Structure 1
Amino acid sequence: MPAISRVDTSFLARWWRNVDRVTLSCVCILIGFGYVLMLAASPAVATRIGASRDMFILKQVVFLTLAGLIVVATSLLSPRGIRRLALAGFVLATAATALTLVHGIEIKGARRWIALPMMSVQPSEFLKPCFAVVTAWLLTERRYRRMLPGMPIALGLFAVILLLLKSQPDIGMLSVITTVFMAQLFIDGLNIFFVGAGAGCMVAAFLGAYVAFPHVRSRVERFLHPNVGDHYQIDTALRAFGNGGLMGRGPGEGRVKDLLPDAHADFVFAVAGEEFGMLVCLFIIGVFCLIVVRTLLKLLREDDPFIVVATVGLITGFGLQAFVNMGSTLHLIPTKGMTLPFISYGGSSAMSVALTIGMVLALTRHRMGESRIPRGRSSFAARKATA
């Protein structure tokens, strides 16, 4: 984008000067990798299922273009606009997630998707960013509106999500949302004893999932015992990394990737390893780390508790999703069907991650001279916040 004069006071000019351009550039880099790796990974997958070789590529071009527009459009909003968007999105995503239990598409024993023309949508993907913002508002607003039972409402909303995701079932998504919620409670000032109790409950819930859900037990046992069950995908992914070595085989020269059933989705990181090598994989990891660390460092100068708690929740979900995908591809953790943000194939994932980063950019945007005190707070609260 060309340089903008400092005397230009238009809305877009102020947005460009105040938005975190480093994070925005990192998002553009990840979207670029998404295009390149989809060109490398998807033709073999499409041919294997009897579809056009270009089907996944053309769809991903549309998905990532929409994702880029969502990032920019959402980053233009004010904190109040982000709250309203999150509330509306949470209501719609919760209703749609409940609808999957009745009219959802069943894939591998789970009902998580709703069929739409040209694509299927996973509504629970949009619960992550919307729930993080709504929870942040409830937890922080209760300090200024004594009659608002923010904590009980937040716990109630979490219980609804828990029941819905358990019924699908989607234990991976539930684990991410639970971790986001615990991180927000900790940042909001929850006693460390209760934080430890919550972590213990998460461990107990995982053990319960291990006993109750056969697919969870299968994945854990395959991770712990190499001679148990089917290891085809993870073994092929590790072969792809080994075949790529330090510098990679070169664009379009990978061969092991063609044997990966989910090379375009959950195992796209292995395609990057084979064709571009370990150095590019480290660069991709560095881009994700830069987004997370830079966002958290910006919060050290933030004095609005809502912005701090909401942004921590959003960036925790983003970073955890990237870690789970790359960690499972490298066989560091049990496999979990979770996409790599902006890189893996998937419309729901690309748009929900775009909404997440757009909200982060909007909340961390520098607002010189703008009041950060939401309407409805008392004059005492306003004086205290501006002191």
Structure 2
Amino acid sequence: MRALSSSNHSPAALWWRSVDQVGLLLVGLIASIGVALLFAAGPAAAARLGIASSFHFPLRQLVFLVPAFALMIGVSMLTPLQARRLGVVLFLAAAALMLAALLFAPEINGAKRWIALGSFSLQPSELAKPGFVVAASWMLAEGARNPRFPGAAITAGLYALLMALLILQPDYGQAALVTALWLVMLFVVFGWSWWMIAVGLAGAGSIAGGYFFSPHIARRIEAFLDPAAGETYQVDKALQAIAHGGWFGRGSQGASVKYQLPDAHTDFIYAVAGEEYGFILCAGILALFGALVVRFYARAASLSSLFAQSAVCGLAAMIGLQSFINIAVNLRALPAKGMTLPFISYGGSSLLATGLAFGLIFALSRRHGPAARRKEIMP
């Protein structure tokens, strides 16, 4: 590693010494587990969908991982000033694409969330979340620094815009997640306040709205509360797969439930981990995500910039909450919600958005010198 030693002042060496190397290692481990699990779940999904190549899904995942990691590394090299500008542009672009999806995209499963780009489908709301966290953190931090600046009001407007677009799709689960992220940022910047109560009520309202105005969401909640009254096939099979795996799993030859699980390669890949590799890997995945979030929060606590603290905490909460929701659905601890397990579930849109979020975290949590810190606080 002489090329990256302290005597080397090249951009790559400076980046390597300033970036969170432990965080990078944890992200790499999670992505590696994701590829291994897709080699386990992919053949069953390909056979069920009539795809000739058994390894269609893991190979495509590897194809998407390359730009996702390139994006993560590239974004992690940005200065805090560049990162927050990227967040604003990202949020505005994603909001415009979400509006375009509402106006022009075909309805899929009762929702307009996807934009077709050739053989690739983009879900703009995945990109809107990290953009919102960075843009909102910037406004909140500016408002805290300068009482005359209406940072909280601007952030409320951004939140209202994103919530409106999500509810119109509809995607009440993402709306609830965005609300939770905003609560985290408000707490970091202001501590406990009436703002948190108001935002919490707004989040509860989005869930209630989903129950009363979306038959699809209502069916999922009713099935969760009373399994005998609704369609619980996938969750039942997920629990069966995890139970079948026991402590150490059944291996690729002994695993059978994954062939009966429609979304084994996406939302229910955690169940495949349980069946093939057992409780040991399931606990390991939980530990990795837990360690990653704790690591990010520890880095955030050491930062001098309120903006960077808020953004890193919000982005870390996004990764942590999304992981928690996915795993909880697999264990029937929450109603079914189409939310992927970051860097593990199959999906190009999710991979790129997660890579971007990790890149922003690494960019904002880097150990910057005095000159960089002076730039960071400039408007």
TM-score category (smaller protein): over 0.9
Match of 1:385 in 2: none
Paired with 2:181 and 2:56, the residues of 1 have a C-alpha distance of 35
SS at match of 1:105: coil
Residue 43 of structure 1 pairs with residue 17 of structure 2: no
Q: Which moved more, 1:126-135 or 1:1-10?
A: 1-10
Paired with 2:320 and 2:229, the residues of 1 have a C-alpha distance of 31
Matches for 1:119-130 after TM superposition, within 5 Å? 119-130=120-131
Q: Which moved more, 1:188-197 or 1:330-339?
A: 188-197
TM-score (norm 1): 0.93
Unmatched 5+ residue regions in structure 2? none
> Retained in 2: the 8 A contact 1:40–1:252?
no
Matches for 1:321-336 after TM superposition, within 5 Å? 321-336=322-337
Paired with 1:118 and 1:241, the residues of 2 have a C-alpha distance of 33
Question: In the alignment, residue 50 of structure 2 is paired with which amino acid?
Answer: G
Matches for 1:279-358 after TM superposition, within 5 Å? 279-358=280-359
Match of 1:158 in 2: 159
TM-superposed deviation, 1:377:
5.1
TM-superposed deviation, 1:105:
3.2
Q: Tell me: CA distance 1:236–1:191, structure 2 relative to 1, closer, same or farther (3 Å).
A: closer
Unmatched 5+ residue regions in structure 1? 379-387
Residue 181 of structure 1 pairs with residue 193 of structure 2: no
> Retained in 1: the 8 A contact 2:179–2:199?
no
Match of 2:224 in 1: 223
TM-score (norm 2): 0.95
Paired with 2:94 and 2:374, the residues of 1 have a C-alpha distance of 28
Paired with 1:355 and 1:29, the residues of 2 have a C-alpha distance of 17
SS at match of 1:372: helix
Q: Which moved more, 1:204-213 or 1:178-187?
A: 204-213
> Retained in 2: the 8 A contact 1:114–1:122?
yes
> Retained in 2: the 8 A contact 1:137–1:306?
yes
TM-superposed deviation, 1:144:
4.2
Root-mean-square deviation (Å): 1.8
Match of 1:113 in 2: 114
Match of 1:32 in 2: 32
Q: Which moved more, 1:311-320 or 1:248-257?
A: 248-257
Question: In the alignment, residue 216 of structure 1 is paired with which amino acid?
Answer: I
Q: Tell me: CA distance 1:376–1:308, structure 2 relative to 1, closer, same or farther (3 Å).
A: closer
Match of 1:168 in 2: 169
Q: Which moved more, 1:256-265 or 1:98-107?
A: 98-107
TM-superposed deviation, 1:243:
1.1
Q: Tell me: CA distance 1:95–1:238, structure 2 relative to 1, closer, same or farther (3 Å).
A: same
SS at match of 2:278: helix
Report Cα offsets for 1:30-84 as digits up to 9, x if no partner: 1111111111112221222222333222221111122111111111111011012
SS at match of 1:188: helix
Question: In the alignment, residue 8 of structure 2 is paired with which amino acid?
Answer: D
> Retained in 2: the 8 A contact 1:145–1:377?
no
Compare the two structures and name the one with the higher helix fraction.
2
Paired with 1:377 and 1:250, the residues of 2 have a C-alpha distance of 55
